[in-house]
Structure 1
Amino acid sequence: MLTYGATIQSVLVPDARGEVADVSLGQRTLAEYEALTTFFGATIGRYANRIAKGRFTLDGRTYQVPVNDPGTDPQNALHGGPEGFGTRVWDAEVLEGDGEAGVRSTLVSPDGDQGFPGELTVVVEQAVTTDSQLVIRYRATTTAPTVLNLTNHVYLNLAGESSGDVHDQERQIAASRFTPIDAVSIPFGPQRDVAGTPFDFREPHRIGERITTPDEQVLNALGYDHNWVFDDGVDRERTPVVVAHDPHSGRVVETFTDQPGVQFYSGNFLTGSLVGQGGRTYRQGAGFTLETQALPRLPQPARPPLDRLRPGEEFTSWTRFRFSTR
């Protein structure tokens, strides 16, 4: 774990034969992390996902934040903008006890930071546990009304970070609906039923099984980069909302969270220009993300507002990734 970006840099997990590999995509030097636009392992804020044209309205006032989403016209604000939380050096202290060990990271984002209102104080705890879980907990408070959506952008490849693409790895998501996106990856409503589409992962499917389907939504993202809406009635404390499995290594990761959705991204925009910590290039599909977060919303007045936080309130959230083999 790094103080730069409160970043998860490495996750070592044994396979079914007991052989340990790093299953998290990452870089070898700080300079490489500073040059990144792929957010490997970074804590994302103030606002995860995209804000259309970098513009939102809060309490009748319109705010403009910097745009940084490459390849879109007009550009959007992606994951907090060009100087989002993944580019900051966080204060950190060792976190130990109750069967876990890790890092507690703190960042104070001043009023007006990247154009966002309110001084925001964020605390992120990232820990590994004795029962093979990676736990992430978030807390945040603000001095003025602001928008907020926090997540982590760890890329996983259960076969190992230098093993090639993840297209043969299986995915199951407890979601009957997903949020469609337009040609520049901005979500729009209404939510769609996954039945009969390449987005139906209610039963396990390989990531690459339908990724070349000529479906408009798949084409818009060059694969998967969408938010799935978890089904009601799932006990997300005890029941995983996402299960990923690599049949070759036997590694499994189960995701538990209190958030209402997950942005599943299949690494479509990795181009082979980055050399990973294992010494091999990361090409398209080299890893996937499971970004647990608030459901994406458009900021226009005609639609529900972005998720917000007000003075006197405390935002809290948690996500757990449980690793095992089968």
Structure 2
Amino acid sequence: MEAKNNTHISEFLFLGLSEDPGMQPLLFGLFLSMYLLTVWGNLLLILAVSSDSHLHTPMYFFLSNLSLVDICLTSTIIPKMLHNIWTQNKAITYVGCITQMYFFIIFAGLDDCILTVMAYDRYVAICHPLHYTVIMNSRLCGLLLLVSWIISNLNSLSESLMVLRLSFCTDSEIPHFFCELNQILQLACSDTFLNNLVMYLSAGLFGGGPFAGILYSYSKIVSSIGRISSSQGKYKAFSTCASHLSVVFLFYCTSIGVYLSSAFNTNSQPSPIPSVMYAVVTPMLNPFIYSLRNKDIKGALRRLFAKEIIK
């Protein structure tokens, strides 16, 4: 009997944020606006950094890569969601779902790694300012970024391959708006113990490891700032970290919210709202956090707009 209940399904169905037909135009307009704002804001930040020679430093090199990853992260899920709302078709193919999940895990992991690398960059800049250009050379920056890509790809590949071994029940409805790993595992009919083990180990390594690195870097930064005698020097040192701290706080609070909501939610259909904050709102706010609190970015944007006006 068990074998008859399992099938090689060809597609999944998204339940989305709301099944109310009257809400669909509102959701379409809201998420289209958020997606365009995310792409526009992050592209503008990348253009500002690449066009201004003053910003060709390790800090802004990692920042522009973070913006690129944020664009890719939202582009993995939002266009498909908008297509489904527009066509009133909730389906996604099995291959499309696995592919979406694979790329989402990659870019979410890259976000985490790049934020950690940026914390290390701030640690070197404040705690070892005289050796900053020697330590954070272009070779090390490229190597750190390459390692981040490799680790994220290996993690995503292992998670996705583990899903391919599962068989799924005839119930293929996902109470979400994209193919999140945890939601896919809940639909499986076969034993998911190994998948859950790998998922939680990965979450521990990608969550606990980088977060510990960020905490260590900032503990050293706070200690170094405390030794600065002038209040103006302390403010200047702290201001270079304020934007990064804001993004780290937003990223970890929303991502922790996703896991806590799935772990403690006893409903059959857990709310996807925490995932909206983590996967959509955070990438949208990142470029504005850095632009509004950073004089160098604002100056580069003014020069960029001035060049366009002159042209």
Q: TM-score, normalised by structure 1?
A: 0.23
Relative to the length of structure 2, the TM-score reads 0.24
More helix by share: 2
Larger Rg: 2
Identify which of structures 1 and 2 has the higher relative contact order when contacts are C-alpha pairs closer than 8 Å and 6+ apart.
Answer: 2
